[in-house]
Amino acid sequence: MSHRSLFAAAVLALALLPLHAPGALAGGKPRTHDRFFLRMAIGGGWFSNKLDLVAADTEFSGFAGDADIAIGGMVSPNLALHGTMFGWAAADPDLKVTPGGSGTANGTATMDAFGGGLTYYFMPANAY
């Protein structure tokens, strides 16, 4: 199975996941979001970065793992204000230089970011 078809299958599975959510709401009190906010995620997927340089164009691509964490608090019903940090890393990514050639880059390609964010929950679906 190619990387792209594997990625497409993972995206499809994640897109269909909310169809399972109504079962989690059956027979209990409605969910509420108040006070502390924490969201963490890890995953992976295909990445591609292109650098347009004066002498040559450089493109890195390959499979990368990623992590995301958001910490904050609820500022009104269903609205969270948070700080967010995320990043991804790919070991020995594919490298293409135009003009030039292609091969495997020895090392790790990474991207890290941080900032602020808002998350709004659409209730009663508990989707954000």
pLDDT in tens, 68-89: 999 999 998 889 999 999 988 8
* pLDDT > 70: percent of the chain: 76
As a whole number of angstroms, the distance between CA 94 and CA 104 comes to 5
* pLDDT of the residue at 73: 93
Q: pTM for the complete prediction? A: 0.61
As a whole number of angstroms, the distance between CA 127 and CA 41 comes to 16
The residues near 15 (Cβ < 8 Å, ≥ 6 apart) are none
pLDDT higher at 17 or 100: 100
pLDDT higher at 126 or 81: 81
As a whole number of angstroms, the distance between CA 108 and CA 87 comes to 13
Positive/negative CA dihedral, 3, 4, 6, 7: positive
CA dihedral 100, 105, 106, 109 (to 10 degrees): 140
As a whole number of angstroms, the distance between CA 7 and CA 11 comes to 6
Structure tokens at 64: 């990368």
As a whole number of angstroms, the distance between CA 57 and CA 50 comes to 7
Structure tokens at 95: 């490298």
Q: Which residue has the tokens 């609820």?
A: 74
